[in-house]
């Protein structure tokens, strides 16, 4: 049987895209096209990116358009790029099968005129490959997209060996509960306005006034324009709050494996990959109500916690309650580990269904 030819356009090389590419390559021939040679905000150095075509220059774009239009199916991410807009209209004109991918956009940043334009363009798009249930609700409610056009297509996640994770978490539990050691908190987020660091700093300050902050060992990883600002803020709260800056994937995974609690505090997060990384490792995730991946997968109090994104008191209360019953950290984390992650293994099947 002849393998179908798939083309996928994405913003830039990234580890979470390589996972999707690998799964698609098991069943299809795949050409990859990048709108940018690298991410401006994410500085991966050790990642072995999948080779693809760049569409930055005019000559590259012309060659790419000709090649893509010969495909059996096209997947377009970051559809607002000029190249992608041109591609979408060409695909519509030539009546090709294609999908646009999306996480949850911030509706507050979109004017009525822009939403009207999008709604009319969206009517001509055959499929929407969306990151999760909250994203599905967004497109259904705001753009009246038919459910028949929507398929769940999340970012790629590397799932660790479950047995090894259970062993690691049991050792963490014994170490914390039997030896009364500090609970390890990990935060992995860039230092930009919407990431919620003001809420975190307020919550940690309250814990300090209650003489409870020293019960935690806190590591924060990430870079960004506000890094120096928050480095000073957190240092003034406690010298034991460690800002590690940008770390590579292997170090990130080690830090995740060896923490007890993962906090994702974004005021608004279109998705939030680290939430899934942490849950897949049986870690207790505390996320704000603005994090879409958490909204999709966390049942508050059962397999994680969700607090009001603008309320540091709620975050503070959760941490205090966990200090009073540390066993909950590991029982709730275990519930997360045993959750349903089936959407993260269906990329090829999703494309196959769209090709029918």
pLDDT of residue 113: 87
- Residues 300-304, mean pLDDT to the nearest whole number: 98
- The HSE-up count of residue 1 (CA atoms within 13 Å, CB side) is 4
Contact indicator for 75, 8 with CB cutoff of 8 Å? yes
Average pLDDT value for the chain: 95
pLDDT of residue 48: 66
DSSP codes, 79-99: TTSHHHHHHHHHHHHTT--EE
Q: Are residues 39 and 177 in the same domain?
A: no
pLDDT of residue 203: 98
Q: Are residues 153 and 166 in the same domain?
A: no
- Which residue has 């978490």 as its token pair? 169
Tokens of 161: 């060996």
The range of the structural domain enclosing residue 116 comes to 5-157+342-355
Q: Are residues 92 and 202 in the same domain?
A: no
Q: How far is CA 348 from the centre of its chain?
A: 20
Q: Are residues 183 and 326 in the same domain?
A: yes
Residue 319 has pLDDT above 80, yes or no: yes
Global confidence as pTM: 0.95
Q: Are residues 213 and 284 in the same domain?
A: yes
81 or 42: which carries more pLDDT confidence? 81
Q: Are residues 320 and 346 in the same domain?
A: no
Q: Are residues 191 and 253 in the same domain?
A: yes
pLDDT in tens, 195-250: 999 999 999 999 999 999 999 999 999 999 999 999 999 999 998 899 999 999 99
Q: Are residues 175 and 242 in the same domain?
A: yes
Q: Are residues 175 and 264 in the same domain?
A: yes
pLDDT of residue 169: 97
Tokens of 151: 């398929």
- Residues 88-107, mean pLDDT to the nearest whole number: 95
- Residues 297-315, mean pLDDT to the nearest whole number: 98
Number of domains in the chain: 2
CA distance linking residue 131 with residue 347, whole number of Å:
11
- Residues 32-43, mean pLDDT to the nearest whole number: 87
Element (H, E) at 332: helix 327-337
% of the chain exceeding 70 in pLDDT:
99
Task: Work out the pLDDT band at 29, boundaries 50, 70, 90.
Answer: very high
CA distance linking residue 1 with residue 319, whole number of Å:
56
Contact indicator for 14, 32 with CB cutoff of 8 Å? no
Q: Are residues 103 and 13 in the same domain?
A: yes
Torsion of CA 277, 282, 284, 288, to 10 degrees: 30
Q: Are residues 198 and 234 in the same domain?
A: yes
What is the CATH number for 131?
3.40.50.2000
CA distance linking residue 250 with residue 15, whole number of Å:
11
- Residues 106-119, mean pLDDT to the nearest whole number: 83
Q: Are residues 63 and 118 in the same domain?
A: yes
Contacts with 265 (C-beta within 8 Å, 6 or more apart), sequence order: 187, 189, 195, 196, 197, 199, 200, 287, 288, 309, 315
Task: Out of 19-28, 79-88, 162-171, pick the least confident.
Answer: 79-88
pLDDT of residue 47: 66
């Amino acid at each position: 049987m002849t393998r179908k030819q798939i083309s996928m356009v994405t913003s830039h090389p990234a580890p979470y895209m390589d996972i999707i590419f690998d799964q698609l390559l098991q069943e299809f021939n795949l050409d990859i096209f990048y709108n940018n040679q690298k991410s401006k905000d994410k500085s991966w150095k050790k990642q072995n990116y999948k080779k693809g075509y760049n569409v930055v220059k005019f000559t590259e774009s012309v060659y790419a358009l000709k090649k893509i239009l010969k495909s059996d199916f096209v997947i377009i991410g970051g559809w607002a790029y000029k190249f992608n807009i041109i591609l979408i209209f060409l695909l519509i004109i030539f009546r090709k099968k294609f999908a646009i991918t999306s996480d949850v956009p911030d509706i507050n940043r979109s004017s009525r005129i822009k939403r009207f334009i999008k709604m009319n363009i969206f009517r001509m798009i055959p499929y929407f490959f969306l990151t999760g249930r909250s994203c599905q609700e967004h497109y259904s409610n705001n753009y009246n997209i038919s459910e028949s056009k929507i398929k769940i297509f999340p970012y790629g996640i590397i799932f660790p060996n479950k047995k090894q994770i259970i062993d690691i978490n049991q050792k963490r539990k014994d170490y914390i509960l039997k030896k009364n050691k500090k609970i390890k908190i990990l935060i992995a987020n860039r230092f930009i306005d919407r990431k919620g660091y003001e809420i975190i700093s307020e919550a940690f300050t309250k814990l300090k006034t209650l003489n409870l902050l020293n019960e935690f060992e806190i590591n924060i990883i990430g870079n960004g324009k506000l890094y120096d600002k928050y480095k000073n803020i957190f240092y003034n709260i406690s010298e034991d709050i460690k800002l590690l800056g940008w770390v590579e994937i292997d170090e990130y995974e080690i830090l995740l494996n060896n923490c007890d609690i993962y906090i994702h505090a974004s005021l608004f997060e279109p998705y939030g990959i680290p939430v899934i990384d942490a849950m897949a490792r049986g870690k207790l995730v505390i996320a704000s109500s603005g994090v879409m991946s958490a909204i999709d997968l966390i049942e508050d109090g059962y397999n994680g916690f969700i607090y009001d994104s603008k309320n540091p008191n709620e975050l503070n209360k959760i941490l205090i309650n966990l200090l009073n019953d540390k066993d909950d950290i590991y029982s709730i984390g275990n519930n997360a580990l045993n959750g349903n992650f089936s959407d993260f293994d269906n990329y090829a099947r999703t494309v196959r269904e769209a090709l029918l």
